[in-house]
Chain A
């Protein structure tokens, strides 16, 4: 039998209340091993309060080659930013 392990991407929440952040990946044959390996590899110095592991093959990514057209719908909508609006002189806390 030839052995081939799966690759799992690792996301760590560094502190309660913060978002999980991608830190790298591990090889593992199942989810328990993936979590254990991720703990041993990425949190040897208390870097995390929670770990997510996701099989790399389950991640869908946009293509960097068409990133321009993919993100294009947001380009012409400057009115989505607060700096677009003129506030009357003297108005505060807004």
Chain B
């Protein structure tokens, strides 16, 4: 099969399956994107996981635990999808540990107090949902099916976060200040989650042509902002952007310039928690080694009997 036939298949909205012919660059793009997505789900368990033991009520604790478990599941669905492209789970983990693969920079920010659990669910999962809803239509079959399953599970994540924010925003003066502070800290990193502006994003062209991505970074970011601003208004919190205002003509919110220096600084490993997140992952992985080995030996032994 040629690249021309492949493109025709893409253009007619057919899905590409693991055994189908695909250009090597398509495969590489998918491996990079899906593994980065998978690593983000797994590393993303850390900032919230740290608050499971400190949740303010049993209800809050059960909800947070269920959410973090879901994120583990999302990581596994995505590793599975990625493995269909001919790369092993082991190699994917190696790439993460050797910093050859990235994960979303948002998880390199610390979670300082309970309001951050609200901000993460509302904003970070909210942004992830906008991206993942769009990716349900991605051209690679296993990735698309993974996204559909993930989207079904995500809706409670954002709602539980928004519920925390709403409760705190309507609570004592101190609680409201905490909610506003969490929004202040997480707003800009959340809208950075969509990546650089389209003009500064060299890989977008191919990704759109091959329908790996269905909407550009800027389109997705705008859609998230348009959805989220009214939600902030409903609970009486203020988005920390003086340039934010409704643009009647465009039918969208205008917003201020993003601090790309900070974005690249965190992407390149210098965020507040980059080292902590990766060290924790390596430690957990190494501490689990004996379990993996014992399970294998046990399985071998049972085969002999």
Contacts and interface: CB of A to CB of B under 8 A. Distances in A.
Interface of A: 1, 3-5, 7, 23-27, 29-30, 33, 41, 44-45, 61, 63-65
Contacts, number: 53
Judged by DSSP, the binding face of A is loop
B1 interface: yes
B19 A24 contact: no
A3 B296 contact: yes
8 contacts: A1-B297, A27-B89, A30-B295, A44-B70, A44-B153, A61-B19, A64-B17, A65-B21
B158 interface: no
Contact of A44 (B19, B69, B83, B293): B69
A23 B77 CA distance: 10
Contacts of A26: 76, 80
Given A1-B296, A45-B153, 19 more contacts: A3-B289, A4-B296, A5-B296, A24-B80, A24-B149, A25-B83, A26-B80, A27-B89, A29-B295, A29-B296, A29-B298, A29-B299, A30-B302, A41-B73, A44-B66, A44-B70, A61-B19, A65-B1, A65-B21
Contact of B298 (A5, A30, A63): A30
B70 A3 contact: no
B90 interface: yes
B299 A30 contact: yes
Contacts of B89: 27
Contacts of A5: 292, 295-296
A94 B19 CA distance: 42
Interface in B72-99: 73, 76-77, 80, 83, 89-90
Contacts of B145: 24
Nearest to B300: A29
B210 to A, nearest CB: 18
A36 to B, nearest CB: 11
A46 B90 CA distance: 30
A80 to B, nearest CB: 25
The 9 closest A-B pairs by CB, nearest first: A30-B299, A29-B295, A29-B299, A3-B292, A29-B296, A64-B19, A64-B20, A25-B80, A24-B80
Nearest to A7: B83
Contact of A41 (B17, B66, B76): B76
A44 to B, nearest CB: 7
A4 B298 contact: no
Nearest to B302: A30
B1 to A, nearest CB: 7
A61 B19 CA distance: 10
A14 to B, nearest CB: 13
A63 B19 contact: yes
A64 B83 CA distance: 19
Contacts of A61: 19
Contacts of B297: 1
Contacts of A3: 289, 292-293, 296
A27 B77 CA distance: 11
Contacts of B21: 65
Interface in B20-50: 20-21
B156 to A, nearest CB: 10
Contact of A4 (B70, B76, B90, B146): B90
A25 B76 CA distance: 9
